[in-house]
Chain A
């Protein structure tokens, strides 16, 4: 019976076993090393200030308390107001949702137009977009400030959303164009013979096929926009400051005692959204990247 056991693995030699042990030990230590700051943050956030002053940063909290979390969320002082991160969270969501939706939609439309409708000068346009994704955006801040001031939307929700859409466009277009260039062009031709026009082909045929790459785009944009600090600070205006800016205001107070437990809780709260996105969609993320890179 030669086939019976062929599915089992070849037994490892003595050296190979020790090789494996070494590799896993190394990986384990690395993982612990990178998890350490998160561990310190979490345990600190559950301690009282008295306990923190003892200086034992690795020890578990003796008296488990979520007061710091409640304070960070509801009553920590961001500048003059003491309303916690709630407001920042709300602002960030208000900025995030339209920015993500519109930047992805525009990127998809651009990518579709560039890969299927062979317009004159499409290559030049594409080269410009490519270049655009490499230019550091600090360069654009001052001109944009002037532009928004002229049009009267400076310091508003529209200004910050528009900014995110503009800066997201090159990468989103690139992402979708590359994905679409892997789709057979005959699909598009068949749809044209069936009588479908630009929008009909996009909505009925291309968009339903874009789910994997759209998920990648959502992850990229949610992470980038949520983590943004500079653009939010400059363009959003005092009413709409995103969570990252609020967090900075909490952590960087120069007066009084530093409430480490509140700071830690506030930081974890702020990073919760991108963290969740990664954990929930990690599988999709890899699949999307792979399907985009290898074949459409």
Chain B
């Protein structure tokens, strides 16, 4: 059991700063996901936590103990890589026990631990095989098992599911979640897949250009994105973004862009907004609902529909503005016809047009 604390952490490669002045505390037993596009520094950050990449400034603490310059093997971590990184010339059993054998641990104990881990991951029937005789999912199970047998306090996952096909990915995702529930270890998980982040995490740290953009629970990150980047990075189908202006009329506040006008008085602004402020409106497709005879419904002309199985993604034009919105299969939405919707403005997001931060 371990907490992890990063203080003023800086990682550079040559003159290029990859992670800048990063502060992050991960609670004991927490499942933290580092989410971001490729090149945002999330994998480098994970390597630094694991001791595989040198930091150029700041400190890394495990349980309030400074481990910034501690050898990887002495950090009490287990790491799982995207490419599995199994030792190809060793059997599964040898792969699992390699670390323990190096540490000179008693044979009987090694055997017990390997048995426990392989049964937990349902790979006990594969112990004699070489990695090349395993499927992708089995290989990743072995890789996870290698971290298990080491009694790691902290598990580091570096995009562990990215090499698997969609079905296996969902399966193993569930497995990892169960594992976390059973072991209650601290887990840090790097991914660019928002579904993995949303399903697994206790908290998500969304990263971009070496900086954490938002650190919050999956629901908050999804519902109240801290800035435009977070809003558009999470969510599929993607968030609609419309540039416009906020106009006060009497005690009501309107969002306006050309002929398009929307009453936004009920939106909980975090600060006082003056009339004429330029903003970006972020609207998720599921927050534009088919109208059921409400008075404030607006009508759009459907230009295109994309059936997605459980629902249909429709692209409609409202007073010159194109928005995507979700409709049910039985809502009778057809291309080139008009379709009335209501907009749940309380669930929308407003961002400053210059800084991109949430208002």
Per-residue 0/1 for A175-190: is the Cβ within 8 Å of any B Cβ (1 yes, 0 no)?
Answer: 0000000001011011
> How far apart are the CA atoms of A256 and B73 in the complex, in Å?
74
User: Is there contact, CB below 8 Å, between A196 and B102?
Assistant: yes
Contact of A204 among B47, B50, B98 (CB under 8 A): B98
Residue of B nearest to A187 (CB): B85
> How far apart are the CA atoms of A205 and B86 in the complex, in Å?
10
User: Is there contact, CB below 8 Å, between B79 and A209?
Assistant: no
User: A2 in the interface, Cβ–Cβ < 8 Å?
Assistant: no
User: Is there contact, CB below 8 Å, between A190 and B89?
Assistant: no
Residue of A nearest to B50 (CB): A193
User: Is there contact, CB below 8 Å, between B82 and A195?
Assistant: no
Contact of A189 among B52, B98, B103 (CB under 8 A): B52
Give how many A residues have a beta carbon under 8 Å from the other chain's beta carbons: 16
User: B87 in the interface, Cβ–Cβ < 8 Å?
Assistant: yes
Closest chain-B Cβ to A55's Cβ sits at a distance in Å of 60
User: Is there contact, CB below 8 Å, between A209 and B88?
Assistant: yes
> How far apart are the CA atoms of A204 and B87 in the complex, in Å?
9
Contacts of A184 in B (CB 8 A): 83, 85
Per-residue 0/1 for A50-78: is the Cβ within 8 Å of any B Cβ (1 yes, 0 no)?
Answer: 00000000000000000000000000000
Closest chain-B Cβ to A263's Cβ sits at a distance in Å of 48
Closest chain-B Cβ to A213's Cβ sits at a distance in Å of 14
User: A194 in the interface, Cβ–Cβ < 8 Å?
Assistant: yes
User: Is there contact, CB below 8 Å, between A194 and B89?
Assistant: no
Per-residue 0/1 for A196-212: is the Cβ within 8 Å of any B Cβ (1 yes, 0 no)?
Answer: 10001000110011000
Contact of A190 among B47, B51, B81 (CB under 8 A): B81
Which label, helix, strand, loop or mixed, suits the secondary structure of the A interface? helix
Contact of B85 among A190, A196, A208 (CB under 8 A): A190
**With contacts A193-B50, A193-B78, A209-B89 known, is A200 near B146, CB below 8 A?**
no
User: Is there contact, CB below 8 Å, between B89 and A205?
Assistant: yes
Closest chain-B Cβ to A185's Cβ sits at a distance in Å of 9
User: Is there contact, CB below 8 Å, between B83 and A195?
Assistant: no
Per-residue 0/1 for B276-287: is the Cβ within 8 Å of any A Cβ (1 yes, 0 no)?
Answer: 000000000000
User: Is there contact, CB below 8 Å, between B87 and A187?
Assistant: yes
User: Is there contact, CB below 8 Å, between B89 and A195?
Assistant: no
User: B136 in the interface, Cβ–Cβ < 8 Å?
Assistant: no
User: Is there contact, CB below 8 Å, between A208 and B89?
Assistant: yes
Contact of A195 among B47, B79, B99 (CB under 8 A): B99
Residue of A nearest to B98 (CB): A194
User: B325 in the interface, Cβ–Cβ < 8 Å?
Assistant: no
User: B197 in the interface, Cβ–Cβ < 8 Å?
Assistant: no
User: Is there contact, CB below 8 Å, between A194 and B146?
Assistant: yes
User: Is there contact, CB below 8 Å, between B73 and A194?
Assistant: yes
Closest chain-B Cβ to A288's Cβ sits at a distance in Å of 16
User: B72 in the interface, Cβ–Cβ < 8 Å?
Assistant: yes
**With contacts A192-B72, A195-B73 known, is A205 near B87, CB below 8 A?**
yes
User: A220 in the interface, Cβ–Cβ < 8 Å?
Assistant: no
Contacts of A141 in B (CB 8 A): none
User: A219 in the interface, Cβ–Cβ < 8 Å?
Assistant: no
Contacts of B47 in A (CB 8 A): 189
Residue of A nearest to B97 (CB): A194
Closest chain-B Cβ to A116's Cβ sits at a distance in Å of 12
B residues 42-67 near A (Cβ < 8 Å) are: 47, 50-52
Contacts of B98 in A (CB 8 A): 191, 194, 196, 204
> How far apart are the CA atoms of A186 and B162 in the complex, in Å?
15
> How far apart are the CA atoms of A190 and B87 in the complex, in Å?
9
> How far apart are the CA atoms of A193 and B52 in the complex, in Å?
8
> How far apart are the CA atoms of A189 and B89 in the complex, in Å?
16
Contact of A192 among B52, B89, B103, B146 (CB under 8 A): B52
**With contacts A200-B102, A204-B98 known, is A192 near B85, CB below 8 A?**
no
Closest chain-A Cβ to B356's Cβ sits at a distance in Å of 35
User: B77 in the interface, Cβ–Cβ < 8 Å?
Assistant: yes
Contacts of B86 in A (CB 8 A): 190
Contacts of B99 in A (CB 8 A): 193-196
> How far apart are the CA atoms of A213 and B99 in the complex, in Å?
27
Contact of B87 among A191, A192, A193, A195 (CB under 8 A): A191
Contact of B72 among A193, A204, A205, A209 (CB under 8 A): A193
Contacts of B103 in A (CB 8 A): 195
Contacts of B87 in A (CB 8 A): 187, 190-191, 204-205
User: Is there contact, CB below 8 Å, between A186 and B89?
Assistant: no
> How far apart are the CA atoms of A194 and B148 in the complex, in Å?
11
Closest chain-B Cβ to A85's Cβ sits at a distance in Å of 41
Residue of A nearest to B75 (CB): A193
Per-residue 0/1 for A109-152: is the Cβ within 8 Å of any B Cβ (1 yes, 0 no)?
Answer: 00000000000000000000000000000000000000000000
**With contacts A194-B98, A195-B103 known, is A186 near B82, CB below 8 A?**
yes
> How far apart are the CA atoms of A205 and B88 in the complex, in Å?
8
Per-residue 0/1 for B109-141: is the Cβ within 8 Å of any A Cβ (1 yes, 0 no)?
Answer: 000000000000000000000000000000000
User: Is there contact, CB below 8 Å, between B146 and A195?
Assistant: no
Contacts of B51 in A (CB 8 A): 193
Residue of B nearest to A210 (CB): B89
> How far apart are the CA atoms of A192 and B51 in the complex, in Å?
9
Contacts of A189 in B (CB 8 A): 47, 50, 52, 79, 81, 85
* 30 pairs, A vs B, C-beta closer than 8 Å: A184-B83, A184-B85, A186-B81, A186-B82, A187-B85, A187-B87, A189-B50, A189-B52, A189-B79, A189-B85, A190-B79, A190-B86, A190-B146, A192-B52, A192-B72, A192-B73, A193-B50, A193-B72, A193-B77, A193-B78, A193-B99, A194-B73, A195-B72, A195-B99, A196-B99, A196-B102, A204-B87, A204-B98, A205-B87, A208-B89
New contact pairs (14) apart from A187-B87, A193-B52, A193-B77, CB-CB < 8 Å: A186-B81, A189-B50, A190-B87, A190-B146, A191-B98, A192-B72, A192-B73, A193-B79, A194-B73, A194-B102, A195-B102, A200-B102, A204-B87, A205-B89
